[in-house]
Amino acid sequence: MNISLTGRHVELTEPIKAHMNSSIETLSKYNMDIISVNVIADTQTKKGKEHSVVEFVINLAHKNSIIIKQNDQDLYAAIDLAIARAQKAMRRMHDKENGHHKEGMNEAKNEASANINLHEASEALEDEIVPVELELYKPREVEDVLQDIKENKKLFEIFLDNDGKTRVLYKRNDGKFGLY
C-alpha cells in the first residue's frame, strides 16, 4: 500500500504524520487490497475563522475509489472523523462482497430438508418410543400418596383413588395438605 501525505498551507509535523499513518493502518483490517492512500491536509479561512480540511483518496483494486473530505476546527479531529467515515465505507463494501445477506425462509427450509432423510428419521423415532404403564393408573390410597409426598418433598401428586376418580393431593402454603 502506497501512502502519500501532502500538506497545503499547513506544515505536516512528525506527530501529525504518525497520527495519519496509524489511522490509515486501521483500514487494512478489511482485507480490501488497498493500492494507495492519498491524504491532503489543508487549512482554509472562511468568515474570518480558520479551519482544517482533510481529504482521503483510497484507491482499491478492482473497485471504485473512496474519496472522503472532512472539515473541522482541529486537524486531528478532522483526521479521526475522516478515518471513521472511510472505515464505514470499507465495511459496507466488505460486507457486500462477502454476502452477509439474510437467507429467506424457503431457502433455509430447503437446505435443512435436503440433508434429512424423513424415512430414517421416522424409524428412529419409532425405535425410541417405549410404552410404559404409569403408576398413575393404579388405584392408590390417600394415606400412601401423602406418605410419598412427605418423603420425596413433592408439592403435589396426581393419582386414581379406589373409586376410580382422578385426585390431586397438594401441599398448601400453610404447611397443611389439600385434596382435590
d(CA 24, CA 29): 10
59-68 tens-digit pLDDT? 998 888 999 9
d(CA 3, CA 12): 14
Provide the CATH number for the domain around residue 19: 3.30.160.100
The 3-state DSSP class for residue 100 equals coil
**Domain assignment of residue 157, given as a range:** 135-179
Judgement on whether residues 93 and 139 belong to the same structural domain of the protein: no
Judgement on whether residues 8 and 56 belong to the same structural domain of the protein: yes
pLDDT band at 163 (very low <50, low <70, confident <90, very high): confident
d(CA 131, CA 137): 14
110 inside domain: no
Q: How many domains does the chain have?
A: 2
Judgement on whether residues 92 and 155 belong to the same structural domain of the protein: no
Provide the CATH number for the domain around residue 152: 3.30.505.50
d(CA 63, CA 72): 29
Judgement on whether residues 65 and 19 belong to the same structural domain of the protein: yes
Edge to edge, the sheet with strand 166-171 lists 156-160, 166-171, 177-179
Judgement on whether residues 6 and 92 belong to the same structural domain of the protein: yes
Amino acid identity for residue 27 in this structure = L
Which distant-in-sequence residues (6+ apart) come within 8 Å of 84 by Cβ?
Answer: none
Predicted local distance difference test score (pLDDT) of residue 137: 65
Question: C-alpha cell of 179?
Answer: 385434596
Judgement on whether residues 19 and 89 belong to the same structural domain of the protein: yes
Max Cα distance, the chain (Å): 103
pLDDT for 121 beyond 80: no
13 inside domain: yes
78 inside domain: yes
Judgement on whether residues 21 and 90 belong to the same structural domain of the protein: yes
Residue ending a domain, among 77, 98, 119, is 98
pTM: 0.54
Judgement on whether residues 31 and 89 belong to the same structural domain of the protein: yes
pLDDT for 54 beyond 60: yes
User: Left, alpha or beta for 47 (phi > 0: left; psi -120 to 50: alpha)?
Assistant: left
d(CA 93, CA 91): 5
Q: DSSP class of residue 30?
A: G
Judgement on whether residues 87 and 18 belong to the same structural domain of the protein: yes
Judgement on whether residues 30 and 86 belong to the same structural domain of the protein: yes
Residue ending a domain, among 98, 123, 157, is 98
Q: Which residue has the cell 420425596?
A: 152
Judgement on whether residues 148 and 73 belong to the same structural domain of the protein: no
9 inside domain: yes
pLDDT for 111 beyond 80: no
